């Protein structure tokens, strides 16, 4: 029987303050964002989300162009990053020799640690000129009949932002889906081999179908990153609140309008509308992350290890 | 001549029909082998493509960064617009100041929560806190900036080092919670039991035996969290705000390396671009060194525990 004296009980209670403060913090952020954006919440209501004017002078605010920009860039980024990311994860988990797999995984984790402002710097000076001089003219020439690839070519565009986002989220997709694939019990794969399947059939029909929920979780987690990614996008999207089908057009996202305008918001109304955009970002990222964690935990059986 | 009975004909027809279906829907052995081989190349290509892009970025960064770096960068204050030369000495000092403040906020709460989760919490509560910590990790960093703006900048009526450090500190909490819980949990239970058997209260066992045994791991976790927030720009935009001079007190705006890289990168001056590259390389070396060291530490520890 463990000796229980009062010091033990006190210590336990004091220590319990810390985990509870984590829960309180999340609730506190929500509460603060709501109360600080009450001006626009009251004035515009849900119309804020479906209104496309952004006019700080007339104090008329609608977040639709930013929501549009965030959706477009995140979606295109996922379209680019998911096939490569999942493919690379399958390679690392199933095909690569253990040493190669381990080395590449460490590299991928290191790359995930590079600050996004540095990707943004690279984006401004390397990616944007490359998109302007090579990729966008090429797309305009051969796929110009699609509405996505029409319009003037500035270099700073939805497309450039999507590419940088894809580069930023690929390491996340790889490391989480690799973990999910490794968590699939090898018995299943071995049984498939015993039935005479090829390696690829065992992977595609057994491993991936067992792990698909977790991989979906990894993709949603990456979506969360893409939605919240601020600096790199702000530096190369062009900061122009429009709704257009053209990916060549400069755009704006929820996060980048905050980065650009928050410190300059002069009126209470302006500040309140920006904080409401922050609230939208907060709620979306909470929903996305909860969904992603549930999916990933369902495959890896509980919280995965942050550090292996 | 005897005709086959109708039932035999029917069963034969059924059989051939089945064969037909099978042969039209199933791949030949050659096709299956072909797929199997093709997928090896496709997946390898995914991994190689991903590595190629990420290395392109890294190499470019290193070349640009190291050619831009000079001694002035570490010792001089930024020069006014239009003048060449100068450095980011104040930004480097500012980043360390901010990290110091962040440690004051993030470490006590994160470590306390981690120890509580490992040593005291019941499993349901622990799972909820872990879940919320993971979700908090996915909240966009700019949202923490807004939170810090509301609770620190508005009451103090000024952008300040304190609010910047606060924003970075709360970002560190979930990361430190998760890693310190893992490392505390790894302390062998015999050590705890040996302490308890001597009649030491549990809290003394925790403080004097468990935490010191896990200290190296906990420190690693803290360093990794520090490396991650060191490169954060978005939460500093409207909390720390940036400063062209040495800050004299913690309630003044303060310069930070990632912030300075951002400001210089989007400015139209070549010499500022050069300094942005230099700032980027210093930042990236800091982040990669800390992460690399942590990876090395974790690998060494894994080798110990698997060697036993």
Task: Quick: pLDDT tens for B42-76.
Answer: 999 999 998 898 889 989 999 999 998 888 889 88
B147 to A120: CB separation less than 8 angstroms, yes or no: no
* pLDDT, position A147: 86
- Mutation target for B interface from A125, A227, A307: give the one with most B CBs within 10 A: A307
Q: What is the mean pLDDT of residues B240-262?
A: 89
Are B294 and B278 contacting, i.e. CB atoms less than 8 angstroms apart? no
Residue with structure tokens 């890294």?
Answer: B58
At the second CATH level, the architecture of A64-300 is: Orthogonal Bundle (1.10)
B6 occurs within a structural domain: no
CATH number assigned to the domain comprising residue B95: 1.10.3720.10
pLDDT value for B293: 85
pLDDT of residue A303: 57
Residues of B in contact with A135 (CB under 8 A): none
CB contact under 8 A, B141 and A230: yes
Which domain, by its residues, includes B183? Answer: 91-256
In chain B, whose CA is at the least distance from the CA of A91? B43
Is B66 a member of any domain?
no
Domain presence at residue B227: yes
- Give the mean pLDDT per block of 10 residues along chain A (308 residues): 73 93 95 93 88 86 93 96 94 92 87 91 94 91 87 90 95 91 88 86 87 90 93 92 90 94 88 94 94 84 48
Residue B135 and residue A286: Cβ atoms within 8 Å?
A: yes
Q: Check whether B104 has a pLDDT greater than 90.
A: yes
Give B180-211 pLDDT, tens digit per residue.
999 999 999 999 999 999 988 889 999 999 99
B143 touches chain A (CB under 8 A): yes
For residues B108 and B98, what is the distance between their CA atoms, to the nearest angstrom?
A: 16
Q: Which residues of B are less than 8 Å from A200 in CB distance?
A: 35-36, 39-40
Residue B216 lies in a domain: yes
Is residue B286 assigned to a domain?
A: no
Q: Do B234 and A255 touch (CB under 8 A)?
A: yes
**B96 touches A: beta carbon within 8 Å:** no
How many domains, chain B?
1
ipTM, interface predicted TM-score of the complex: 0.91
**What is the C-alpha to C-alpha distance for residues B239 and B144, in angstroms, rounded to an integer?**
10
B190 inside domain: yes
């Amino acid at each position: 029987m463990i000796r229980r004296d009062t010091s033990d009980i006190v210590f336990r209670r004091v220590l319990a303050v810390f985990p509870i403060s984590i829960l309180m913090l999340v609730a506190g952020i929500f509460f603060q964002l709501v109360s600080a954006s009450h001006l626009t919440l009251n004035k515009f209501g849900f119309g804020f989300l479906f209104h496309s004017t952004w006019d700080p002078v007339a104090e008329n605010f609608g977040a639709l162009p930013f929501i549009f920009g965030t959706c477009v860039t995140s979606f295109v980024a996922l379209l680019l990053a998911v096939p490569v990311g999942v493919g690379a994860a399958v390679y690392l988990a199933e095909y690569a020799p253990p040493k190669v797999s381990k080395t590449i995984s460490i590299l991928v984790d290191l790359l995930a640690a590079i600050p996004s402002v540095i990707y943004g710097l690279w984006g401004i000076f390397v990616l944007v000129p490359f998109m302007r001089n090579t990729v966008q003219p090429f797309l305009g020439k051969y796929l110009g009949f699609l509405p996505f690839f029409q319009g003037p070519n500035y270099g700073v565009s939805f497309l450039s932002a999507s590419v940088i986002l894809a580069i930023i989220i690929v390491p996340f997709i790889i490391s989480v889906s690799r973990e999910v694939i490794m968590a699939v019990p090898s018995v299943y794969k071995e049984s498939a081999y015993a039935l005479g399947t090829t390696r690829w059939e065992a992977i595609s029909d057994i491993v991936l179908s067992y792990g698909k929920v977790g991989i979906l979780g990894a993709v949603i987690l990456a979506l969360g990153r893409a939605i919240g990614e601020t600096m790199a996008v702000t530096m190369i999207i062009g900061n122009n609140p429009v709704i257009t089908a053209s990916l060549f057009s400069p755009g704006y996202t929820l996060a980048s309008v905050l980065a650009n305008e928050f410190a300059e918001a002069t009126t209470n109304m302006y500040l309140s509308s920006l904080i409401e955009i922050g609230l939208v970002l907060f709620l979306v990222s909470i929903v996305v992350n909860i969904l992603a964690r549930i999916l990933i935990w369902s495959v890896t059986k509980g919280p995965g290890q942050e550090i292996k | 001549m005897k005709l086959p009975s109708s039932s035999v004909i029917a069963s034969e027809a059924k059989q051939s029909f089945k064969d037909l279906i099978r042969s039209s829907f199933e791949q030949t052995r050659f096709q299956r082998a072909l797929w199997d081989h093709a997928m090896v190349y496709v997946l390898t290509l995914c991994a190689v493509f991903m590595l190629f892009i990420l290395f392109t970025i890294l190499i470019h960064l290193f070349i640009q960064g190291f050619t831009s770096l000079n001694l002035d960068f570490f010792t001089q204050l930024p020069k006014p617009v239009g003048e060449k030369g100068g450095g980011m000495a104040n930004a480097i000092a500012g980043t360390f100041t901010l990290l110091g403040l962040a440690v004051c906020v993030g470490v006590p709460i994160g470590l306390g929560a981690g120890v509580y989760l490992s040593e005291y919490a019941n499993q349901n509560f622990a799972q909820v806190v872990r879940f919320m910590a993971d979700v908090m990790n996915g909240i966009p960093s700019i949202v923490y900036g807004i939170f810090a703006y509301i609770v620190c900048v508005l009451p103090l009526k000024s952008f300040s080092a304190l609010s910047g450090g606060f924003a970075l500190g709360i970002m560190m909490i979930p990361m430190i919670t998760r890693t310190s819980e893992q490392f505390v949990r790894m302390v062998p239970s015999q050590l705890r039991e040996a302490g308890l058997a001597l009649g030491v209260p549990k809290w003394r066992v925790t403080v004097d035996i468990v935490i010191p045994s896990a200290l190296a791991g906990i420190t690693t976790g803290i360093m990794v969290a520090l490396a991650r927030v060191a490169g954060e720009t978005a939460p500093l935009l409207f909390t720390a705000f940036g400063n062209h001079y040495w800050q004299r007190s913690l309630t003044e705006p303060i310069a930070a390396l990632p912030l300075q890289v951002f400001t210089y990168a989007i400015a139209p001056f070549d010499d500022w671009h050069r300094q942005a590259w230099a700032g980027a390389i210093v930042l990236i070396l800091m982040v990669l060194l800390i992460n690399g060291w942590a990876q090395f530490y974790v690998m060494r520890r894994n080798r110990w525990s698997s060697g036993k």
